[in-house]
């Protein structure tokens, strides 16, 4: 980036599947997924970034971006400190319809494009909107562990979300007793294995809801719920709203 770039600009791009890419930017970075989904990792924490979600990445934050399917992003890079209301640490949050409309409106204001006179004020307003959204969003952070055995257990659990998998089965797959695995999950992951399973299922449900291709009852099945009512109860606990209302808010 050169010093003659504007204080904030938009970056619109189509990205093909690729191995994890490590990067850091000398600007505050608002990474927004329009289509497709990607995974963003920062300092051992990992978030799913489905359509209609954005990641806030403060300047000079080392990140890793993993793309396993084609994705379209529309991002804003801003001079550090342009908006002081945003978190000092990386986070992921749900974009409101207004925020999505704003970022679409300025998508052609690239680093080398001519910007209208109101561009800086517009970007600042967008970032202030995002600052409000960042403090009340649904948590799509993937559970993580420092212990490689528990990381393997989480990976196996995630690979079997549609099945009626049990803690005992996962424990056997990683050569632990169920009691020992449960104790280590609570100590390392910060939640029980059952809570980890639910969190992974809800994150997957959010991604499927954002795609807008499957019915709610199909999503319930793909995320391992035996009934629509059980899925609705779990999702309401997770997101404080129903899956139907959540998807409507994403796709409006």
- pLDDT by residue, tens only, the chain of 252 residues: 445 689 999 999 998 988 888 999 999 999 998 888 888 999 888 888 887 789 999 999 999 999 888 889 999 999 998 998 888 899 888 888 899 899 999 999 999 999 999 999 999 999 999 999 988 777 788 999 999 999 999 999 999 999 989 999 999 999 999 999 999 999 999 999 999 999 999 999 988 888 788 999 999 999 999 999 999 999 999 988 899 998 887 766
Nearest to 11 by CA among 20, 19, 23: 23
What are the tokens at 121?
Answer: 């004020």
Q: Where in the chain do CATH 1.10.10.60 domains reside? A: 143-251
Confidence (pLDDT) at 252: 67
The label of the residue with tokens 């052609």 reads: 108
CB of 72 closer than 8 Å to CB of 14: yes
pTM for the complete prediction?
0.79
Residue 57: its pLDDT value, please?
94
Q: What is the pLDDT of residue 139?
A: 79
Q: Which CATH number fits domain 143-251: 1.10.3720.10, 2.40.30.10, 1.10.10.10, 1.10.10.60?
A: 1.10.10.60
Tokens of 103: 């970022």
Q: Which residues pair with 39 in a beta bridge?
A: 48, 66
Give the helix/strand (H/E) hosting 53: strand 53-57
Question: What superfamily in CATH does domain 8-134 come from?
Answer: Regulatory protein AraC (2.60.120.280)
- Asked if 99 contacts 129 with a C-beta cutoff of 8 angstroms, the reply is yes
In the chain, ranges of CATH 2.60.120.280 domains: 8-134
β 18-23/141-142 pair status: unpaired
């Amino acid at each position: 980036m050169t010093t003659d770039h504007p204080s904030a600009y938009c970056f619109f791009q189509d990205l093909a599947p690729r191995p994890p890419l490590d990067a850091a930017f000398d600007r505050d970075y608002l990474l927004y997924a329009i289509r497709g989904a990607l995974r963003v990792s920062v300092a051992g924490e990992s978030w799913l970034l489905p359509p209609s979600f954005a990641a806030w990445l403060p300047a000079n934050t080392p990140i890793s971006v993993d793309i396993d399917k084609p994705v379209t992003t529309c991002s804003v890079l801003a001079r550090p400190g342009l908006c002081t209301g945003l978190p000092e640490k990386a986070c992921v949050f749900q974009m409101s319809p207004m925020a999505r409309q704003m970022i679409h409106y300025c998508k052609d204001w690239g680093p080398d494009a001519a910007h209208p006179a109101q561009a800086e004020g517009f970007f600042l307003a967008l970032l202030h909107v995002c600052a409000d959204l960042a403090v009340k969003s649904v948590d799509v952070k993937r559970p993580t562990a420092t212990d490689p055995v528990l990381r393997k257990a989480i990976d196996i659990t995630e690979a079997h979300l549609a099945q009626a998998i049990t803690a005992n089965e996962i424990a056997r797959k990683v050569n632990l007793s169920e009691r020992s695995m449960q104790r280590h999950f609570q100590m390392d992951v910060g939640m029980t294995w059952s809570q980890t399973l639910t969190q992974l299922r809800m994150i997957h449900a959010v991604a499927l809801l954002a795609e807008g291709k499957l019915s709610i009852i199909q999503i319930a099945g793909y995320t391992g719920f035996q009934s629509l009512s059980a899925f609705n109860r779990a999702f309401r606990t997770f997101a404080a709203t129903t899956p139907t209302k959540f998807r409507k808010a994403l796709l409006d």
